[in-house]
């Protein structure tokens, strides 16, 4: 019984800690933070597909980017992370929401969705019959490092 209770407490604290990483207060007005966030996303190569200056919300199209096992978890095969395989492709979708706290402060919330798949046929010799539509879709989850890096870039 003690192990179950401790396990639940640990799980709740991990979820709570991860939710704190994604939102932080920034010492800029909301409008300036919004403009800076748009510029940072464009500088990274992301295409903002939805921008609303009234709601202070930005969403991007998927940005192809190779992520590491420290930044993201896409599962494992035989105990080896999928991200170690060169056939794995990942793309990041950013969602940035800015909330006005007062005239000189704003709260920035960043959510990154990681889409991943493994191209099974990549690198196969020409004489082996390639299987059509046999890509493996991966369920990936960001560990909060990418979100923290983005928020830190807004603070600079």
Q: For residue 77, what pLDDT is reported?
A: 87
Q: For residue 119, what pLDDT is reported?
A: 80
What's the pLDDT tens digit per position in 64-107? 999 999 999 999 989 989 889 888 999 999 999 999 988 889 99
Domains in the chain, CATH or no CATH each? 2-155 (3.30.310.80)
E strand or H helix that includes residue 19 = helix 2-21
SS3 (DSSP) at 107 = strand
Q: For residue 37, what pLDDT is reported?
A: 93
Q: For residue 125, what pLDDT is reported?
A: 60
Write phi, then psi, for 138 (nearest 5 degrees): -105, 145
Q: Mean pLDDT, to the nearest integer, of 39-54?
A: 92
Q: For residue 124, what pLDDT is reported?
A: 60
Q: Where are the beta strands (DSSP E) in the chain?
A: 23-26, 48-52, 57-60, 63-64, 72-73, 76-77, 80-81, 88-102, 105-118, 136-139, 141-142
Min mean pLDDT across 36-50, 87-101, 114-128 is at 114-128
Q: Tell me the pTM.
A: 0.77
In terms of pLDDT, which residue wins out, 20 or 133? Answer: 133
């Amino acid at each position: 019984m003690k192990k179950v209770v401790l396990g639940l407490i640990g799980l709740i604290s991990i979820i709570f800690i991860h939710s704190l990483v994604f939102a932080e207060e920034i010492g800029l007005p909301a409008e300036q933070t919004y403009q800076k966030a748009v510029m940072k996303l464009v500088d990274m190569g992301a295409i903002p597909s939805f921008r609303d200056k009234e709601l202070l919300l930005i969403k991007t199209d998927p940005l192809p980017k190779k992520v590491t096992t420290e930044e993201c978890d896409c599962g494992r095969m035989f105990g080896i992370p999928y991200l170690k395989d060169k056939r794995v492709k990942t793309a990041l979708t950013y969602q940035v929401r800015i909330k006005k706290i007062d005239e000189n402060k704003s709260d920035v919330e960043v959510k990154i969705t990681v889409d991943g798949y493994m191209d099974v046929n990549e690198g196969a010799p020409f004489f082996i019959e390639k299987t059509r539509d046999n890509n493996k879709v991966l369920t990936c989850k960001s560990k909060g490092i990418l979100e923290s890096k983005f928020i830190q870039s807004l603070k600079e």
